[in-house]
Amino acid sequence: MRLSALIPTLCCAAALILSFLCLFAGHKAGFMEDYHLVTLNTSMIGENIINETRSTDTGNPLTDLLNGVRNYGSSAINDAIGEVTQKLGIDDFYSAHMLNYCEGQYTPAEAANATVKESDISKNVTECSKNRAMYKFDPTAIIEEALNKTGVSVTLDDLNWPDDIETGIKTLNALMGAMFVLYCVAIALIFVALLAAAAAILLSGRLSACVNFLVAILAFLAIGLASALVTAVMVKATNIINDKGSEVGLEAHRGNKFLALTWVATGLMFVVVLSWVAEFCAGRRHNRQTVYAKHG
């Protein structure tokens, strides 16, 4: 019996659970919503065009919605913007996950103010899309559909929606399929590594350690590539959206908690690889000592 194999077995089990959570986080309302890939904060859409579209611009459909906003303080303006986005049918946030996206409202307020701290604001998910492998997150189409449902004759052009924002979205979507496939492959390989490690508890010898090492290195590479890819996509998409979306009050937040999950899973598989290297070396040293003892 090889009790030292318990370490890689437990690490594989933990990595498998974390990898599953990466794949299924946010797949339904209220389930690990904070472990998103990217969240778009749309609660302040219109913030930068209030002064432009106030009663002086009679040709913009937003005029009627914004006429009530005069020379108020920032808190009152934020409240008014929240009312406007509500009338437009736009939710406060849209969060992308591996299998779907969710939308909802920030509570108790869209932004921090004199009475509400940033830490007190939380997400209230109202709806999630159907789960689908390799789906495309397209907030432009989502918001456009929301505008059409309300019957208010306001378009994305009226909101000064920048065309360049599609670059960030396309960056995210172009690799969503690859990320999904890599996580599925990683989960399968980690599961095989778990079974092999569990079997190695009862089996000894360098051959067993060598087989486990090969499976573990494949699993490590798969989850490592998935983690690196999702990190690059999240950072790139967030930067582009924030750069272009600031014109209309749109913000993007990358999912740091998701990154923590996936990189911890990667770290655990690295420990597994090192464990089997140590086992292989220990077995080789033991065989040498046995040979020396026989010929001593």
- What gap in Å lies between CA 49 and CA 245, rounded to an integer? 13
Q: Number of folded domains in the chain?
A: 1
Is the alpha carbon torsion for 77, 79, 80, 82 positive or negative?
A: positive
Is residue 67's pLDDT more than 70? no
Average the pLDDT over each of 30-34, 79-83, 143-147 and give the range with the smallest value: 79-83
Average the pLDDT over each of 21-25, 105-109, 221-225 and give the range with the smallest value: 105-109
286: which 2 tokens?
């033991």
Q: Tell me whether residue 269 is in a domain.
A: yes
Segments forming the whole domain that contains residue 247: 3-285
Q: Tell me whether residue 296 is in a domain.
A: no
The string of pLDDT tens digits covering residues 254-274 is 999 999 999 999 999 999 999
Q: Tell me whether residue 87 is in a domain.
A: yes
In one letter, which amino acid is 279? E
Place of tokens 């065989």: 287
Q: Tell me whether residue 291 is in a domain.
A: no
The string of pLDDT tens digits covering residues 198-237 is 988 887 767 788 888 999 999 999 999 999 999 998 898 8
Q: What's the pTM value of the predicted model, to 2 decimals?
A: 0.80
Q: Tell me whether residue 10 is in a domain.
A: yes
Q: Tell me whether residue 290 is in a domain.
A: no
- What gap in Å lies between CA 167 and CA 73, rounded to an integer? 35
Q: Tell me whether residue 218 is in a domain.
A: yes
159 or 81: which leads in pLDDT: 159
